[in-house]
Amino acid sequence: MTAGDPAAVAARLRESGCVFAEDEARLLIAEAADPELLADLVERRCTGAPLEHVLGWAEFRGLRLAVAPGVFVPRLRTEFLVECLLAELPAAGCVLDLCCGCGAIGAAVRAARPDVLVHAVDVDARAVACAEQNLGPGRVHHGDLFTPLPGELRGAVDVVVANAPYVPSAALPTMPAEARLHEPRAALDGGADGTGVQRRIVAAAPNWLRPGGRLLLETSAEQSTLLVAELEQAGLDCAVVRDADLEATVVIGRRRGSAAQP
């Protein structure tokens, strides 16, 4: 391969099964400071690493976000979750992003609404390190769901949002190899019916939301009924919204009451 020759890089990528070989060649060439590094990046991509892990960044809602190997790569469909969130968010509101991965949701919210305060949590230290790069230090917490959060957030959060793992365990083998082999299982595996982590979020969220606050969860169309039942049981008013083009489904819960009259 001639170093830095886009046609040669694209040919190598296509040979190994990359569909968007020209686009990827352009990105990899732009990323590599020297021919040796380029050869290394191309090799990693050709042996199956996700493009975003090879580049070290992912695009999400027009932002370029750090995403390291071993960290969940933000999906295009999750931009719909951000749209829904922005529509529900009061001025200078407080957002809590659980299972934040590289912090894509929080970073996109902050880019659109710099007035907003974002706290983010992830159980995986590699994800927390990326989220700190994308969100800045101080607001990213390492631990299980609500556990590492400062107590003063109790009853004070305007929106709890999560793209928690929701793939049913039995469906994991049907996921693309890039996800199965290069993303942590804990970021994908939602247990027997896919709602294992989400149920724990739903059960605890009312303690952290202010009255009238919202809980937004990305889910699949099939699982949304299960999740709605769970939210209703937790005493939240519920709505399900979809974006057919992005194949995105979001369940929105509202804690009853209002900030003025709890």
Residues lying near ligand GLN in the complex (CB under 6 A) are found at 75, 163, 165-167, 179, 188
CB of 164 to ligand GLN, least distance (A): 6
Q: Which helix (H) or strand (E) holds 109?
A: helix 104-112
Q: Which pair of tokens denotes residue 92?
A: 């200078």
Judged by beta carbon, residue 41 or residue 167, the one nearer ligand GLN is 167
C-beta closer to ligand GLN: residue 152 or 245: 245
Q: What are the structure tokens assigned to 118, written together?
A: 């974002």
**CA neighbours closer than 13 Å in the CB half-sphere of residue 11:** 8
**Between 74 and 93, CB nearer to ligand GLN:** 74
| The pair of three-digit structure tokens given for residue 88, joined into one six-digit string | 């529900």
As measured in angstroms, the least distance from the Cβ of 174 to ligand GLN is 11
- Tell me the C-alpha distance between 133 and 169, whole Å: 31
Specify whether the CB–CB gap between 99 and 197 falls below 8 A: yes
Distance CA 5, CA 107 (A): 34
- From residue 72, alpha-carbon distances to 67, 209, 259 in Å are 8, 26, 35
- Residue closer to ligand GLN (CB basis): 61 or 75: 75
- Minimum separation from the CB atom of position 180 to ligand GLN (A): 10
Q: Which is nearer to ligand GLN, 38 or 107 (CB)?
A: 107
Residue 57 or 166 with smaller CB distance to ligand GLN: 166
Encoding tokens for residue 122?
Answer: 């992830």
* Shortest distance, position 167 Cβ to ligand GLN, whole Å: 5
Output the CA torsion sign for 137, 116, 155, 241.
negative
User: How many CA atoms lie less than 13 Å away from 206 in the CB half-sphere?
Assistant: 17
Distance of closest approach, residue 179 Cβ to ligand GLN, in angstroms:
6
Q: What is the DSSP letter of 146?
A: T
Min dist. Cβ of residue 165 to ligand GLN (A) = 4
Contacts of 101 (CB under 8 A, 6+ apart): 67, 71, 72, 74, 122, 127, 130, 131, 163, 187
Minimum Å distance from CB 224 to ligand GLN? 13
Q: Which is nearer to ligand GLN, 105 or 188 (CB)?
A: 188
- Which amino acid belongs to residue 178? E
